[in-house]
Structure 1
Amino acid sequence: MALSSTIDCELLVGPFKEGAKPDPNVQYGATYRAIKDAMRHEDPVTNGPIQSQGKSADWQKVVQLSTKILTEEGKDLGVMVWLVEGLTRKHGFVGLRDGLRVMTLAHEKCWNDLLPAIEEDGDLDARATKLEALNTILPRAIQTVPIMHQSGGVIYSCYDYGKGHDEIEKLKGAVQAAQTQEQRGHAQAALDEATQLGEKIDRVVAATPLSHFSSLRDMMSEAWDAFQSLNRIATEKYGAEGFTLRPLQEMMESCRDLLDELVRKRGGVGLRQDPVQEHPQEESVVTTTQTESSAVSGDLRTRADAIRQLQRVAEFFRRTEPHSPVPYLVQRAVRWQEMPLEEWLQELIKDASVLSAVKETLGLTQDSDASRES
């Protein structure tokens, strides 16, 4: 049975509100900037169960402002990506489903009006790059959706489950490979922490009713169907050569498989009839790595190709080394490449006097004032 919607998908891809003034440059508007401010948050990667999803981010505001832009200002793909993240952070897998549906409907019904506009020569790289930002943004949001609750308000996610189970063998190897006492001590401490977390999660799983995990799996299955629809039309529009949503696909498959495993652990019928394994993803990690290696090999022909490869690199490190800062630094670089210079400086330099001096040195002050007056 389909779950109720979190948002009116048709409204977001329908005609603009009466009296609205569409703007092809929504990225320079006040609402766009307000969304970026509302999204500023600390990534909820912790050394234990997540306590919140983005401490300071106002995801409800992100959804509201994204809706405002899409219904009044422009059908901007970048804003839609933010909308999908906001819905996922706010409503979990049902929000993910609805956000992906909006993306699909936009490609079906608003193709000629989507922003960024198609280049005069028909080039679609700008659009494809915006859409492929889903590969960078959504895996983290999906990983941190709460899937279990413990008394006292402690929340566990797919990320926590993986840390308490899938990483243990890797940490055992790190202990054995340590060359100094200090390295061995750090590795052993991490192993002990992961083992304790896994034991806690196993107790929560045993105390959680089957119906809870079955419901979550149903939600993810509907989100998976929505992804499949988006992937089909995106491949049709942008072509299979060079364009991919593979990192997002792999994260959704991983999460769906985990939920299916939890259903079977609680005595339910799995989507697949293979036996439950203690570490079902270990073999797939090797296969996925080999597949990605072959997928990204070859010459980079365009700027969009380079951005896609950076996104794959970020996702590889996020999946294989979740505690490493590398994926977040690469992700930031990908996001920065879309920014105008002045916007990049504003994000990088927080001190207003320093920012003003830098802009004056670069000759940006007069240009900025002129653009605002126009």
Structure 2
Amino acid sequence: MAASRIAAAMSSPPVLDLETLLAPIAEDQPTGTDIREDASPTSPYYALKDARNAARAAERQVVDAGEDESSSLAREWRDILTLAPEVLTTRTKDLEVCAWLIEALVRGQGFAGLRDGCALVTGLVDRYWDDLHPMPDEDGLEMRLAALAGLNGEGADGTLVMPLRKVPLVAGNGEILAHWHFEQASELAKVADEERRQRRIEDGAVTMDRIEAAAADTPADLIVTTMADLNEAQDAYAAMIAALDDKAGAEAPPGGTIRSVLETVKDTLSYLGRDAMAASGEGTPASDAVATPAEDGAVTEATAGTITVSRPAVQSGAIASRDDAFRELLKIAKFFRETEPHSPLSYTLEELVRRGRMPLPELLEELIKDEEARKLFYVTAGLKPPEQASDSSSGW
């Protein structure tokens, strides 16, 4: 596929030395010790924990002040980028430390950071699962997997969701802009009151014109590299979730929210980078791509398929695939949002598309909160539960 070709040729170099990080700590103790047991003033566990707490507090202060914290990396996140790999190499193989490292990597290295962070977790899980820290307790694997589960979140957005939305996508005209800015601009475009809209702009809101101008001024190779990194990050994240599913079964952390965010961000990059991708020979010409983004920033109609997949010719207007059907639904949703903004129809259709793109186990986890009720559904429907299914990542 074109996506894999782009990823192989254009992606960013490694940001982690995986070979060193995956090497055993010692022959007699490959996963080292539980650093939580070190309560000394120099404890690496508490140094990392304090740095993470301070970094998140610094981000909240910037947000509360109405500033854009995505423009700089807190010193404490940089501390984690230095200390966590050292700890994982010399002291312990610990999934909580890995989760904190992934949080820092996404902020500091974007999609390449997510790619390598997920590859690290996958490697540790595959090689050292039985002895990874923190060890299971009387509650099972909850303690071991809590930090990784927190990245995606359960019942609410996890700690990695907003940072992924703020990974830079375009850098031109003196601006560095992300999917998060695209969402803001989409919301701004829906403000009918010109005076109110102008006030938002004066308060710092980014317009779609500014984003389009920045995208047009962004070097094509930067956009192609970002897309390649994003493709690889999606693959690495899927591999990590699959490895955890394999080892932890029903106790494995959910992954649907991050998977959905990555796909949404890719849709945005596909739209904003359509000319750069076409100019580089890696995408479809702009005239063949969808001309307008989805206004709510949730899902654009220029999906990754328009860049990476060659389809056989079909009758104009015909629905040739599942993705085509989803795009038609999103067009209908867009129509209702523009013509009947008071109606819930647009939001309902977009929610249907979101759920339609989810694997069945994750959809049921979202719809049926009670675990016993979910199990009963599987039995009644004659389906295998996720931990028994041969391919729990397949769509429905």
Q: TM-score range by the shorter chain?
A: 0.5 to 0.7
* Correspondence for 1:350: none
Letter of the 1:158 partner, please give it: H
The answer to whether 1:168 aligns with 2:185 is no
Larger mean Cα displacement after TM superposition, 265-274 or 106-115: 265-274
In 2, distance between residues paired with 1:299 and 1:286?
18
The percentage of counterpart residues that share the same residue type is 25
- Counterpart among 209, 223, 236 of residue 226 in structure 1: 236
- Counterpart among 2, 19, 25 of residue 10 in structure 1: 19
In structure 2, the CA distance between the partners of 1:208 and 1:83, relative to structure 1 (3 Å rule), is same
Contact 1:77–1:114 (Cα < 8 Å) also in 2: yes
* Correspondence for 2:210: 200
Instruction: Give the deviation of 1:251 after TM superposition.
Output: 1.2
The answer to whether 1:144 aligns with 2:141 is no
- Counterpart among 126, 135, 147 of residue 143 in structure 2: 126
Letter of the 1:68 partner, please give it: E
Contact 1:13–1:110 (Cα < 8 Å) also in 2: no
The answer to whether 1:38 aligns with 2:55 is no
Instruction: Give the deviation of 1:108 after TM superposition.
Output: 0.4
| TM-score normalized by the length of structure 1 | 0.65
In structure 2, the CA distance between the partners of 1:196 and 1:67, relative to structure 1 (3 Å rule), is closer
In 2, distance between residues paired with 1:126 and 1:199?
47
Contact 1:13–1:71 (Cα < 8 Å) also in 2: yes
* Correspondence for 1:159: 180
The DSSP-based 3-state class of the residue aligned with 1:79 is helix
* Correspondence for 2:221: 211
Letter of the 2:107 partner, please give it: R
Letter of the 1:9 partner, please give it: L
* Correspondence for 1:86: 104
* Correspondence for 1:281: 298
Superposition pairs for residues 224-373 of structure 1, below 5 Å? 224-239=234-249, 243-266=253-276, 268=278, 269-270=282-283, 275-279=290-294, 281=298, 283=330, 285-287=350-352, 295-300=365-370
Q: Report how many residues are paired.
A: 288
Instruction: Give the deviation of 1:119 after TM superposition.
Output: 3.6
Instruction: Give the deviation of 1:228 after TM superposition.
Output: 1.7
| TM-score normalized by the length of structure 2 | 0.62
Instruction: Please tell me the root mean square deviation across aligned C-alpha atoms, in Å.
Output: 3.6
Instruction: Give the deviation of 1:245 after TM superposition.
Output: 0.7
In 2, distance between residues paired with 1:222 and 1:202?
25
The DSSP-based 3-state class of the residue aligned with 1:7 is coil
* Correspondence for 1:328: none
Structure 1: unaligned runs, 5 residues or longer: 176-183, 303-374
Contact 1:97–1:224 (Cα < 8 Å) also in 2: yes
Contact 2:141–2:251 (Cα < 8 Å) also in 1: no
Instruction: Give the deviation of 1:28 after TM superposition.
Output: 5.2
Contact 2:106–2:114 (Cα < 8 Å) also in 1: yes
Larger mean Cα displacement after TM superposition, 24-33 or 58-67: 24-33
- Counterpart among 86, 105, 127 of residue 123 in structure 2: 105
CA offsets per residue over residues 188-216 of structure 1, 9 Å max, x none? 73477687532212211122232221111
In structure 2, the CA distance between the partners of 1:208 and 1:254, relative to structure 1 (3 Å rule), is same
Instruction: Give the deviation of 1:229 after TM superposition.
Output: 1.1
Contact 2:33–2:91 (Cα < 8 Å) also in 1: yes
